[in-house]
Amino acid sequence: MKVKWSSFGLGAVATLVVGALVAAGVVRPWESGAPGLEKGPLVIISGKDQSNGGQRQELVNQWNKTHPDHPARIEELALGADDQYSEMVARAQGPARKPDIYNLDAAWTAEFAERDYIAELDEPAADTSGFMANPLRTCWHEGKLWALPFNTDAGLLYHRHPDVKAPSTWKDIVNETRRLMGGPHDSRLVAGYTAQLADYEGLVVNGFEAIWDEGGEVVDENGKVVIDSPQARAGLLRLADGLRSDANPRVIMQEARDQDETASMNAFAEGKVAFMRNWPVAYRNLDSLTSDDANQTAFFKVVPLPGPSVLGGQNLAVSSKSERPRAARALIEFLTGPRSQQILFERGGFAATRDVVYEDAEVRHRRPYAEALRDTINRAKLRPVSPCYVRFAEAFRAVVNETLNAGGKLPSNATERLTAALNC
């Protein structure tokens, strides 16, 4: 082999220089955008922004001002969770260009991870410090981090004030209902309590919460369905008993079985019940009934639920097919950062996923329920983390409905049906 060593040497030196230039190209010091981020537009696919004043869009506008090479836009989907899920899954499966970021219901994160619709986040590089533990837990699946928590949610117990004592247990609610209904009372009052027991995800949430409050469980930590236990039965029985038309006093208003968040809030606002389980968003709506502008004393107060709440909320995840994964991740970090979280909670009413926000004096002033909400979030529990969650929830609703129709008697095949659904 005859080699011209002079030109080989020159070539080797030049290779080193080219390598250095390539490295420089990765850093791209001449670019105006953030280092290492792919240029081009970013698309976030998300349910409708229900915050006061569209705070999510406001944050995206801020990002676009500081990142002109990585402009982001939110593609909003319908309000209903089922509609959002269907469109997101269809996009993930289809051959067209995928969104860069999914804003996922916390209960769907495992499924999207399992099906490779979203990309794992590099956990050591992702700064997860400062997030509340519970919302962050919904972002993990099989020991890997898949998302960061955008906003969280937990149920609160609303009670009329000052005529009604703040309850701390379900028994308190029953006793106070007995006292109120037993004496002279407003003719509008028809029952003690209402919640979201119509046939949708609200029924799943309230079913879980009733069972948990009695010390029961639906799916244990090993993924086994354990609904057929005395505690779980007691939880569902208390709903069925409360709904009985011949109950004295009538603890749960019968119309609750047709009520969603809005309908139950209206019933509470109109004085038909003394207590209501609802999400924090109801606070803003009920508050506006007191006054549009002035800070008048509201006719109600909130306390944590007697038992654990279901943890709601949404997580931001990078699409596994995103052409700009680093930029997408940077946007997620911006949207879940402490400042963004403060804006979303303080101005928009979205419960923050970072602890520090709840300490802020202005937040506490504008969101008087902040402390109760933080307690509830910290005590909240997750719905079963499973790639088959959506099917499981459908089956659970059917089981709860049948139990309520049968006066609290759990269907004999409940465990079998739920197990089949949990395994898709």
Partner 1 sequence: MINGVLIAVGTIIVAVVTDPPEGVVSWIIFVVGALLLAVVGAGLVEVITAFLLDLPHERIIAVAIVVTLACGAAFVLVPGIPRIRLGGCDPPAQVRVLTTPELLAPYRALAGRFEDAEAERDGSCRPADVHVFALPAKRAMAGLGAEWSAEYLEDGPRPDIWLPENGMHVETVKNSKEMTGFGPVMDVTPSLGSSPIVLAVPAHTGIKLTDEAWQGQTWRTLVDKLRAAGVGLARPVTSTVGELATVAIYGSEDGRVQLRQNPAWAQGFEAWVDSSTKSGQYPSGADVDALLRKQRELGTAGAALVLAEPDLIRYNQSVRDRSGRGCDVPNGPPACMRALYPSDTYSFDRPLALLTWSEAPRSASQRDAAVAFRTWLTSAAGAEAAVLQRLRPPPGTPLQEPVSMANGVVPGGPPNYVSGQASPGPGVAEEMTGIKDTVRRTGRVVVSLDASGSMRQRVGGETRYSLAVKAILAEQDNLAKRAQVSLHVFSATLGVLPVDKDSIGRVRPVGNTPQHRAILDGARAAGQDGVLVLLTDGSNNVDDVSPQQLADLAGARVLVLAFGEASCGTQVLIDVTGHSGGSCRQVGVTTLQADLAELLRSV
From 223, 242, 106, 91, select the one nearest 178 (Cα to Cα): 242
**Smallest gap, in angstroms, from Cβ of residue 4 to partner 1?**
6
Residue 265 interacts with partner 1 (CB under 8 A): yes or no: yes
Compute the Cα dihedral for 261, 152, 251, 393 and give only its sign.
Answer: positive
- Select from 35, 66, 82, 362 the one that contacts partner 1 (CB under 8 A): 82
Given the complex with partner 1, which of 54 and 338 has the nearer CB atom?
Answer: 54
Structure tokens at 148: 């960061």
The closest of 313, 310, 107, 279 to 206, measured between CA atoms, is: 310
Separation between Cα atoms, residue 289 and residue 56, nearest integer Å: 25
CB of 237 to partner 1, least distance (A): 25
Work out how close the CB of 200 gets to partner 1 at its nearest, in angstroms, rounded to a whole number. 13
Q: Which of 94, 124, 162, 184 binds partner 1 (CB under 8 A)?
A: 94
Show the binding pattern over residues 107-146: x = contacts partner 1 (CB under 8 A), - = does not. Answer: --------x-------------------------------
Q: Are 52 and 349 in contact (CB under 8 A)?
A: yes
- How far is it between the farthest Cα atoms of the chain? 110
Is residue 4 a contact residue for partner 1 (CB under 8 A)?
yes
Please give the Cα distance from 225 to 126 (Å, whole number): 34
Measured from the CB atom, is 23 or 361 closer to partner 1? 23
Residues 288-347 that bind partner 1 (CB under 8 A): 288-294
Give the SS3 label for residue 387: coil
Q: Does 262 bind partner 1 (CB under 8 A)?
A: yes
Q: Which is nearer to partner 1, 220 or 270 (CB)?
A: 270
Q: How far is the CB of 63 from partner 1 (least distance, A)?
A: 16
109 and 317 Cβ atoms separated by less than 8 Å: yes
The size of the interface with partner 1 (CB under 8 A), counted in residues, is 57
Contacts of 18 (CB under 8 A, 6+ apart): none
* Cβ-contact 57, 64 below 8 angstroms: no
Min dist CB 399 to partner 1, Å, is: 16
- What separation in angstroms does the CA of 414 have from each of 134, 186, 226, 350, 400? 29, 41, 10, 36, 9
Nearer to partner 1, 96 or 125 (CB): 96
Q: Which spans of this chain sit near partner 1 (rule: CB under 8 A)? A: 1-4, 7-12, 14-15, 17-18, 21, 24, 30-31, 48, 52-54, 57, 75-80, 82-83, 85-87, 89-90, 93-96, 115, 262-263, 265-266, 269-270, 284-285, 288-294, 424
